[in-house]
Amino acid sequence: MRLSRYFLPVLKEEPAEAKIVSHRYMLRAGMIKQAAAGIYSWLPLGFKVLKKIENIVHEEQVRAGHIPMLMPTLQSADLWRESGRYDDYGQEMLRISDRHGRDMLYGPTNEELITDIFRSHVNSYKDLPLTLYHIQWKFRDEVRPRFGVMRGREFLMKDGYNFDLTKEDALHAYNRHLVSYLRSYERMGLQAIPMRADGGPIGGDYTHEFLVLAETGESEVFYDSEVTDLTFGDREIDYDSVEACQGVLEEFTSRYARTDETHDEALFADVPADRQRSARGIEVGQIFYFGTKYSEAMGATVVDSNQKQVPVHMGSHGIGVSRLLGAIIEANHDDKGIIWPEGVTPFHVGIVNLKQGDDEADAACEALYQSITALGLEPLYDDRKERAGGKFATMDLIGLPWRITVGPRGLKNGVVELTNRRTGVSEEMAPEAAIEKVAGIYAKI
């Protein structure tokens, strides 16, 4: 993409309404624009990152054997009356009536709709196990929408639902979700720690929230510092193996890590004092096993091998896709702007032409642009007639991990400059060497 032809409405001034750094940078970098309280338009740069995150989530769900689909945003109130949640959900639910006076709602989540689909089409235990998911906009009329996309009213969520014959099978699905979530967050350059969470009105021990540690997090968390040493890395896992998935669960959840809702001072005291930590965290996902609550309320049953009708065991599992942009920025920035992890960066490399209009510099940039594009990578070429300082400031703000700077002086010596956004380290090298280095880095992502 050439910047002169792109739409990147960067703000010069500090947006006064933004209280935290991710919100501030998302506005300044022209990623989002507020349309109404807690509701945002996703401008091209923000939309690109959103899609990258969404794509990682899709790939990891499919890898785990889960099946993508799409349910609508608007739902009929009838199903929610059946489950009993229409009245329970309270003011967070946006209620709408259509022209015929029928009660509708903008879905805050999809347990009812998916359970209805399941009961309409699945009758036998032979069709289980089944895990369906979608990535769709949700609406929750939050009392205090704030922090930009972190607590929006309209937000993008991946929500998945497993249907299993037995509790054991459903717990295997729970563990598969835990593994696939760990992998997803790591690919986004994030460490998200599974913490024992509160089951809320549904109750039960089987729920974990995934938290990214950040000062601006809304949740207070308590943990054994050893949990921050754990990484999933690039190990292969057999998602069909109950033992393998259970092993990961034990590895990642056996140490103390809880949100304030489940925090237990007595248990925490057993953690060696020098490893006790309390901090703030951003909830970027939650997994849940809730047994037969919805299947019983809504008649989602199958016949088992003895021809008996039994309610299925279910769980639901969510990732806050749009919130993740905020979380990633909170965890990856400096005072100049965002520092995107390579896995989610909107463009792979920036090209800065120090002297637009100089034949040699223009030609060198053009050649870099073509070669990088031919490798399947996306460069963002700042080809505007702007001064160098302005171009650097924009690149730093929008946070591309790598920048190639091209100027007549370097070209005389046959070199360009390759700069790492995170470390700030610049190296001079031949254009081909810069391309090779950048390509090598992305080949590992």
Binding site for ligand ATP (CB under 6 A): 109, 140, 142, 151-152, 155, 157, 283-286, 318, 320, 322-323
CA 403 to CA 352: how far, in whole Å? 7
**CB 253, min distance to Mg ion, A:** 16
What is the closest distance, in whole angstroms, from the C-beta atom of residue 358 to ligand ATP in the complex? 46
Q: Answer with the entry of ligand ATP, Mg ion, none that 407 interacts with (C-beta below 5 to 8 A by kind).
A: none
Angle between helices 44-63 and 321-331 (to 10 degrees): 110
Q: 285 vs 410, which CB is nearer to ligand ATP? A: 285
338-368 burial, b if ≥16 CB within 10 A, otherwise e? bbbbbbbbbbbbbbbbbbbebeebeebbbeb
Residue closer to Mg ion by CB (options 27, 195) is 195
SS3 for 429? strand
**Residue 293 interacts with, from ligand ATP, Mg ion, none (CB under 5-8 Å by kind):** none
Residue 140 binding target from ligand ATP, Mg ion, none, CB below 5 to 8 Å by type: ligand ATP
Smallest gap from residue 283 Cβ to Mg ion (A):
6
Contact pattern for Mg ion over residues 271 through 300, marking x by CB under 5 A: ---------------x--------------
Given the complex with Mg ion, which of 119 and 323 has the nearer CB atom? Answer: 323
Number of residues that bind Mg ion (CB under 5 A): 1
What's the closest the beta carbon of residue 209 comes to Mg ion, in angstroms? 6
CA distance 434 to 193: 36
Cβ proximity to Mg ion, 135 vs 339, nearer residue: 135
Least distance CB 318 / ligand ATP (angstroms): 3
Q: What's the rounded Cα separation, in Å, for the pair 386 and 279?
A: 43
Alpha helix segments (H runs only) across 320-358: 321-331
Tell me whether residue 211 or residue 395 sits nearer to Mg ion (CB atom).
211
**Residue 226: which region, alpha, beta or left (left: phi > 0; alpha: psi -120 to 50)?**
alpha
**Out of Mg ion, ligand ATP, none, which partner does residue 196 contact, by CB within 5 to 8 A per kind?**
none
Q: What is the residue whose two structure tokens read 């039960």?
A: 204
In 165-291, DSSP assigns E strands to: 192-196, 207-213, 219-224, 257-259, 276-291
**Which parts of this chain interact with Mg ion (CB under 5 A)?**
286
